Amino acid sequence: MEGDFTVTPWEVTGQIDYDLLIQKFGTKRIDEQMLARLAGYAPLHPMLRRGIMYSQRDLDWILDKYDQGEKFVLYTGRGPSGHTHLGHLMPWIFTKWLQDTFDAELYFQMTDDEKYLFNDNLSLEDTLRMSYENALDVIALGFDVSKTKILVDTELIKTLYPLALKVAKKVTFSTTKAVFGFDNSTNIGSIFYTSMQSAPALLPSDLKGRNVPVLIPCGIDQDAHFRVTRDVAEALGYYKPALVHGKMFPGLTGSDKMSSSQPETTIFTTDPPKVVKKKIANAFTGGAVSAEEQRKTGGKPEVCSVYKYQYFIFEEDDRQVESLAERCRKGEILCGECKKLLSERLVHFLEEHQRRREEAKGKLDDFLMKA
């Protein structure tokens, strides 16, 4: 049905109405005023200017704290269900901007437990292995080793468990049913899981022995967990973590989310150039059936996955991205050429990323939190 969509931590489907999500979840838009405030700290990241990072909770509060000299800590994470794809990099690239702009420490959680519990086809060995593979992509983005800790849930359980327990004691089964749609057939690990995702939000305060503000950049699909975290944090006497929410990174099929379960429409950070070119060649553009037709009618950048790639990550220059859209609408640039431009960019980006990813193997140990 047109207009039907779902956004939960476990499922993102349909054409997402992002404005409606702000209303439904009760978050705040990152509006002009907030953008102006943020621009006072550093030139705005393109994802802010373009409304890709578009929603927030308590961002004003955490900036007030920062202005008063109380620095915040960043917390984000990844469910290691497989190799990292380009969509995953998006919020991490933004997190790096936050780290640089606010000189903030970062805790990055790898939830091998989560992906094991929620996927019938993954073993705990798989998700643990992928935690380390994915960590290489995080490190390759250039996070500051002196300010960044990567936490692997099953490895760091001794540190996380006491915090998870504090949370778990405050969350009832009926809350998880209401928030996540769980029922009596849901495995009990899944029911407990939100406590694990909440724990890193409390960790900085525990380690420092005083309340520390925490800012969580994440996809809007993760908000459900953090609504619970925020309620419980307050009940336990911690600050509620603040949030910045991003939109979902589009898939190559033209859908609203890139998905690892369709590998042919997903570009992984480990893909070789030939594979990338092939995937882009097959990407959905919504273009006309013939070149002649398209020169006449023009294309539709708003539905085109190739354009969205440029818009979401790869073309940082606003004028360039606008001009690309214009030329497409006028039929001046056709899909073949556009795909070639994107392919070249991606291949170039991935070559560099893969080189840094190799280098990251030697740094992994310095980034992993041990206790």
CA geometry: angle 221, 226, 228, nearest 5 deg: 120
Is residue 299 within 8 Å of 328, Cβ to Cβ? yes
Closer residue to ligand TRP, CB minimum distance, 117 or 360: 117
Q: How many residues bind ligand TRP (CB under 6 A)?
A: 12
Q: According to the binding rule CB under 6 A, does residue 197 interact with ligand TRP? A: yes
Stretch touching ligand TRP by CB under 6 A, among 144-152, 168-176, 216-224, 259-267 = 216-224
Which residues within the stretch 97-136 sit at the binding site for ligand TRP (CB under 6 A)? Answer: 109, 111, 114
12 in contact with ligand TRP (CB under 6 A): no
C-alpha count within 13 angstroms, C-beta hemisphere, residue 200: 29
Per CB under 6 A, 205 contacts ligand TRP: no
Strands (E), the chain: 5-7, 12-14, 28-29, 53-57, 73-78, 106-110, 148-152, 214-219, 242-246
| Of residues 167, 180, 246, the one with CA closest to residue 10 | 180
Q: Whole-number minimum distance, CB 9 to ligand TRP, in Å?
A: 6
Give the nearer residue to ligand TRP in terms of CB position, either 109 or 294: 109
Closer to ligand TRP by CB, 218 or 306: give it: 218
Q: Which of residues 233-252 bind ligand TRP (CB under 6 A)?
A: none
Under rule CB under 6 A, residue 30 binds ligand TRP: no
Please select the residue that binds ligand TRP; options are 52, 150, 199, 218, rule is CB under 6 A: 218
Q: Which residues pair with 217 in a beta bridge?
A: 244
* Secondary structure of residue 99 in the 3-state scheme: helix
Contact 227, 52 (CB under 8 A): no
CB of 219 to ligand TRP, least distance (A): 7
Q: With binding defined as CB under 6 A, does residue 222 bind ligand TRP?
A: yes
Q: CA-CA distances (angstroms) from residue 110 to 72, 134, 154, 329, 334?
A: 21, 8, 9, 42, 41
- The residue among 127 and 294 lying less far from ligand TRP, judged by its C-beta, is 127
Residues 66-95 that bind ligand TRP (CB under 6 A): 76-79
Residue 120 burial by Cβ neighbours in a 10 Å radius (0-12, 13-18, 19+): exposed
Q: Is there a contact between 147 and 362 (Cβ–Cβ < 8 Å)?
A: no
Nearer to ligand TRP by Cβ, of 153 and 271: the residue is 153
Burial degree of 363 (CB within 10 A; 0-12, 13-18, 19+)? middle
Between 117 and 321, name the residue whose CB sits nearer to ligand TRP: 117
Q: Which residue, 251 or 301, has its beta carbon nearer to ligand TRP? A: 251
CB of 238 to ligand TRP, least distance (A): 16
State yes or no: residue 216 binds ligand TRP (CB under 6 A).
yes
Partnered with residue 214 across adjacent β-strands are: 73
Interface residue list for ligand TRP (CB under 6 A):
9, 76-79, 109, 111, 114, 197, 216, 218, 222
